[in-house]
């Protein structure tokens, strides 16, 4: 598109910004999952590189050939694979992320991940690589991890500020969960409660105390990295107020600085010079805002819980050994049961925004031994799990069994990194 065509576009309207969230309302109760792992060279325990004969790029080529996946390209570089509604993508430090099509049952998420892992296994053996389920790279630090050759990552790395932003981008891996909502009221209630739950969930799945080969003194160094990355677009997107609406969330995004836009298969860096609202009102160097710019801007906003056409719950360290499936199980048990949701609301809404926000810093260091109002949070974590457990029992599908690994840990006041 040339400059003149750009100027002839219809002006982006405020109501269009709401459309993705409004269209997200649905009657389904599916659960989605994104599962990031860190590729490690088995012999050296260093992070595997993108390039080279036995690098991650060649690994993706082999997977595509063996199992009929399509390439996802950035210019000429392979940055991921796609098959139907599943994707395998690479994060900035070559972390391998599986994004699984939302399912009605967690057993089907597990089945699909197991299927993909079975394809991975012989190729990983051939390449001498393993995908480790840790929240942070245990040996290689960002200074020795080359940024993936994806154009947006270079721009993001140069822009996103904070003393641990490079750690967050290149070293960390997590588990994210997607939850459906049936209405605006339902969406915002789940959004608020998921935010209240977030530090407790971060604590339960803390799995990143070893970094650079040493004990950092933090149970979740990954959580610490996020706490020290660009607080204009990370952290909480709400003060937990009742009555929050889609418009409130849109207004938060409107007033967030922009990083870049895409035009004609290239990127135009904005480097935080203006907010999306300013871009809509005045444009930028002849470019006018369009709906794709809005979608991109929304996806470059990284709060602990993000509103999309579903609710994306983000801040859990990567875990393995079937612990990963207890994360969607907790959210399914709570978010799709009104009684469970109200119980969690009553249990956590007594805490102020400042108390929950401060807890985020405490759980990064102490996990479930952290305190709120001078009381340890382990019992609160137990209760969250028990509420989800009883809800899943009522469903009658046996999915409460996915909670057994985390129940056993929390009974002992342990978290995943304590098993190392």
Domain positions in the chain: 3-419
Q: What is the largest CA-CA distance in the chain?
A: 66
Quick one: which of 346, 21, 17 has its CA closest to 183? 21
Residue 129: its pLDDT value, please?
Answer: 98
Q: Which residues contact 330 (CB under 8 A, 6 or more apart)?
A: 201, 384, 385, 388, 403, 406
Q: 290-342 pLDDT, tens per residue?
A: 999 999 999 999 999 999 999 999 999 999 999 999 999 999 999 999 999 99
Distance CA 210, CA 215 (A): 5
Q: Low-confidence residues of the chain, pLDDT below 70?
A: 1-9
Q: Which residues contact 368 (CB under 8 A, 6 or more apart)?
A: 203, 204, 206, 376, 377, 378, 381, 410, 413, 414, 415
Match 């009102």 to its residue by tokens.
Answer: 281
Residue 290: its pLDDT value, please?
Answer: 96
Distance CA 212, CA 110 (A): 31
**Contact indicator for 203, 169 with CB cutoff of 8 Å:** no
For residue 1, the number of C-alpha atoms closer than 13 Å in the C-beta half-sphere is 16
Distance CA 73, CA 60 (A): 12
Question: Cα-Cα-Cα-Cα dihedral of 64, 69, 75, 76, to 10°?
Answer: 20
What is the CATH architecture of 3-419?
A: 2-Layer Sandwich (3.30)
Q: Which two tokens stand for residue 403?
A: 């909670």
Residue 9: its pLDDT value, please?
Answer: 56
Residue 111: its pLDDT value, please?
Answer: 97
């Amino acid at each position: 598109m040339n400059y003149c065509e750009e100027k002839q576009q219809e002006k982006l309207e405020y109501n269009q910004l709401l459309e993705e969230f409004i269209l997200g309302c649905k009657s389904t109760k599916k659960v989605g999952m994104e599962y990031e792992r860190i590729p490690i060279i088995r012999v050296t325990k260093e992070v595997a590189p993108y390039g080279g004969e036995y690098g991650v790029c060649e690994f993706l080529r082999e997977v595509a050939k063996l199992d009929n996946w399509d390439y996802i390209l950035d210019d000429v570089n392979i940055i991921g694979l796609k098959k139907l509604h599943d994707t395998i993508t690479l994060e900035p430090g070559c972390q391998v992320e599986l994004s699984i099509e939302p399912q009605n049952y967690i057993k089907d998420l597990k089945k699909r991940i197991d299927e993909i892992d079975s394809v991975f296994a012989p190729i990983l053996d051939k390449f001498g690589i393993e995908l480790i389920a840790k929240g942070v790279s245990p040996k290689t630090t960002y200074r020795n991890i080359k940024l993936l050759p994806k154009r947006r990552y270079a721009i993001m790395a140069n822009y996103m500020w904070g003393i641990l932003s490079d750690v967050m981008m290149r070293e960390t891996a997590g588990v994210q969960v997607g939850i459906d909502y049936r209405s605006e009221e339902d969406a915002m209630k789940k959004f608020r409660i998921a935010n209240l739950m977030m530090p407790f969930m971060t604590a339960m799945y803390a799995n990143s105390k070893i970094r650079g080969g040493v004990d950092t003194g933090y149970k979740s160094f990954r959580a610490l990295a996020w706490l020290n990355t660009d607080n204009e677009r990370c952290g909480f997107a709400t003060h937990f107020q009742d009555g929050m609406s889609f418009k409130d969330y849109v207004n938060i995004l409107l007033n967030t600085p922009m990083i870049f836009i895409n035009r004609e298969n290239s990127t135009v860096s904005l480097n935080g010079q203006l907010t999306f609202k300013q871009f809509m009102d005045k444009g930028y160097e002849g470019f006018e805002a369009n709906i794709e710019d809005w979608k991109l801007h929304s996806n470059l906003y990284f709060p602990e819980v993000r509103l999309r056409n579903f609710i994306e719950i983000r801040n859990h360290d990567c875990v393995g050994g079937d612990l990963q499936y207890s994360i969607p199980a907790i959210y399914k048990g709570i978010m799709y049961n009104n009684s469970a949701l109200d119980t969690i609301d009553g249990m956590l809404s007594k805490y102020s925004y400042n108390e929950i926000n401060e807890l985020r810093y405490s759980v990064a260091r102490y996990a479930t031994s952290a305190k709120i109002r001078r009381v340890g949070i382990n019992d609160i974590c137990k209760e969250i799990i028990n509420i989800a457990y009883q809800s899943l029992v009522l469903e009658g599908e046996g999915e409460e069994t996915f909670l057994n690994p985390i129940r056993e840990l929390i009974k002992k006041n342990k978290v995943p990194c304590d098993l190392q």
